[in-house]
Structure 1
Amino acid sequence: MDIVLDEKESRILGCLIEKEITTPEYYPLSLNSLMNACNQKSNRDPVVSYDEADVEQGLDSLQKKGFARMTHTAGSRVPKYLHTILDRFDFSRQEIAILCELMLRGSQTVGELRTRAERMYSFQNLEEVEKTLRGLMEQDPAMTAKLPRETGRKECRYVHLFLENPGAERTPHGLSDEHRESQLPASERILRLEEETARLRDELEELKQAFTHFKSQF
């Protein structure tokens, strides 16, 4: 892809997209609100600590690349900022939710994306997430990519391709899933258990449907 973002630009763009969907009453965002959104401890990986100068620099770059712009709203004395990604790309609600989540938390599995994107779009099942990812990968240029499965990992992970170094991991390679999970906070381990439960529930439902179809043949 010709358009390349660094990690700070990706975080800022992801925050603008997220807040437009989840809290439209507070959107567009002031510089201070956007800084706080970038530095959130929830739904962010990694957790960062940007100051206003960092965010201003990222916004300036995003505006030059055509992904954000400044606006003034009635009753506000400070400028506000909004994303313009949908002026450039015709993404569906499913696609923009997936891209936003990848911008905010980096590479993720299908199950993680389904659970974490829930606040922006409610995917019916894992198959809908996979279909959305395939659609993004088949665009020209491709918007997402499937990473090779790593040793010790159970599932493949996906990345967005706006980032200058997609797929770069911040955790040591070669560690098993069990070892990684033992280092996670309790809230993250609970989230992963919920994701696994959702995946198993989907598989059970598919088996029930297949069995019902099988019985109907006799």
Structure 2
Amino acid sequence: MPFDPRTTPLTAVEARVLATLMEKARTVPDSYPLTLNALITGCNQKSSRDPVMEVSDSQAQEALDSLRLRTLTVQISSQRATRWEHNFPRGIGVPDQSAVLLALLMLRGPQTAGELRINSERWHRFADISSVEAFLDELAERSEEKGGPLVVQLPRAPGAREQRWAHLLCGPVDLSAPVAAAAGTRSDALAQRVSELEAQVARLQQQLAHVYEQLGLQESEPQPPM
């Protein structure tokens, strides 16, 4: 039966585990399939992750077992160590290009088509943004018989030129939250920038006052605008 995120959504840890397996399969193929320790390191790395997580051994193992029951991961046992690999494209029923986009959304959070194209360089080289958008549209229009949509386009954030996309593998997305969060982030950034500029102006004023003092001059009063 096709994977349906509406009835059997992934947990946040399951999504991180699955996406990490997909990432390492393409970026470090010599170390793939992954041991449990290598997988946990990948799940908890600070770069290319949003949000940053602290997945424990037990959480990762529980997620792997759950994903295996849904045929999304495969356990490979040997005398040296047990390793794991993903079975995402076949288990979900999507082409490799779509799987790459879904994994990036699971790892890095909502992104625009342009950001996805840039972030996928080490995974798959999309010809242009239009090709990325074509695969996203296909995922957004996934039929009910196949389990329904797997991505959704978020409302355009204030001041943003492009809309971002989010995955639906962990269930429905609050379409108002990303916009509010983005607006809040920009507001915080603007406030910080204003504070930095004010501090810079204050330093320049102090330096100018010092120069006047050294030269024995008096600061001239600002002239009113004509």
TM-score, scaled relative to structure 1: 0.74
Q: 1: distance between equivalents of 2:113 and 2:126?
A: 11
Distance change (3 Å), C-alpha of 1:139 and 1:49: same
**CA distance change for structure 1 residues 22 and 182 in 2, over 3 Å: closer, same or farther?**
farther
Tell me the distance in 2 between the aligned counterparts of 1:181 and 1:10.
Answer: 30
- 2:155 pairs with one of 137, 140, 148: 148
Which residue pairs with 2:13 in the alignment? 8
Q: How many residues align?
A: 182
Unaligned runs of 5+ in 1: 184-218
Indicate the residue corresponding to 2:169 in structure 1.
Answer: 162
Deviations 1:82-130 (A, max 9, x none): 1122332342232111111011111111111111111101122211111
Cα contact 2:10–2:171 (8 A) shared by 1: yes
Deviations along 1:29-74, whole A, 9 cap, x unmatched? 100000001011111111112221221121122122321121124x
CA distance in 1, matches of 2:61, 2:122: 27
Asked if residue 72 in structure 1 is aligned to residue 49 in structure 2, the reply is: no
Q: CA RMSD in A?
A: 2.6
Q: 1:174 to 1:112 in 2, by over 3 A?
A: closer
Question: What is the SS of the residue equivalent to 2:63?
Answer: helix
Identity of counterpart residues, as a percentage? 33
CA contact (8 A) 2:88 2:99 kept: no
1:18 paired residue number: 23
Contact 2:117 2:126 in 1 (8 A): yes
1:172-204, Cα deviation, whole Å (9 max, x unpaired): 536267446669xxxxxxxxxxxxxxxxxxxxx
* SS across alignment from 2:121: helix
Cα distance per residue 1:129-176 (max 9 Å; x no partner): 111111111222222111122334332111111113435758953626
User: Aligned to 1:39, which of 44, 50, 54?
Assistant: 44
Which entry has the higher C-alpha Rg, 1 or 2? 2
- The answer to whether the 8 Å contact 1:154/1:177 transfers is no
Q: What letter matches 2:171 in structure 1? A: E
Q: Distance in 1 between matches of 2:160 and 2:185?
A: 6
Secondary structure of 1:119's aligned partner: coil
Q: Is the 1:143–1:161 contact (alpha carbons within 8 Å) kept by the matching residues of 2?
A: yes
Q: Which residue of 2 aligns with 1:62?
A: 67
Any gaps of 5 or more consecutive residues in structure 2?
192-226
> Which residue does the alignment assign to 1:128?
131
Flag the 1:165–1:90 CA change in 2: closer, same or farther, 3 A: closer
